[in-house]
Chains A and B, each alone.
Chain A
Amino acid sequence: MIRIQEADFDLSTEIINLRKGDLQVGAVVSFLGTVRDLNEGSEVHSMTLEHYPGMTEKALEAIVSQAKARWDIRDTLIIHRVGPLKPEDQIVLVAVTSAHRAEAFAACEFMMDYLKTAAPFWKKEETTDGGRWVDARVADDAAMARWKKT
């Protein structure tokens, strides 16, 4: 399932719902991303997340289908928040269920790396120095590139 929402979410509830009723599931791996209060040396007061409605859903669906084609996994969940956020807020959840842990670990990391470079979200931080769009990180492109070699 893919959800783009302003509202916060409860990790335990989401995991329970993701694996409920599937007796083949023996592993659940989840990644939870949160808002940091420091970025590039400036204190972040708040943040706004912009996205490209329509393309966002398409990009995330493509990520899920690639993960399912590559690993033997049972189900996936991506929740990404948009709109105003503040430090410590939950911002993204990627969760994967599978029979065994190796597939779930790999698929979860792949999906998160892919999301970071291909899903149309943009962060704008309000800091003590004013508003600033966050720059893309070279490290994120490198993280995604690893998956193309194998």
Chain B
Amino acid sequence: MQIQLRFFAALREQLGVSEETIDVSDDIKTIDDLKNDLCKRNALWSEALSGNQVIRCALNQVMVDASTDLSDGAEVAFFPPVTGG
């Protein structure tokens, strides 16, 4: 399954990446699974995505709960709580 990843704001700076396309294995079903898999990359990713800071996520540009199922070709974004207005 192919996933388009997007990162924004402080998280984008922390990881040093704004977007990338990855292939994920079949046992990764939800955004939470994906997040846990990304945490395995190294300490930086683990700290950024599962440390103390709150991380929100969006599936195909709609904010969702991390328990939401993935689908092939989906765009998944991770970012800190929003601060507009």
Contacts and interface: CB of A to CB of B under 8 A. Distances in A.
A52 B77 contact: yes
Interface in B19-77: 54, 58, 61-63, 77
B9 A124 contact: yes
B16 interface: no
A136 B58 contact: no
Interface residues of B, number: 18
Interface in A67-108: 80, 91-92
A55 B62 contact: yes
A85 to B, nearest CB: 12
A122 B80 contact: yes
B67 to A, nearest CB: 18
A8 interface: no
Given A52-B8, A120-B8, A58 B84 contact: no
B77 A121 contact: no
B35 to A, nearest CB: 18
Interface of A: 33, 49-52, 54-55, 58-59, 80, 91-92, 112, 115-124, 133-137
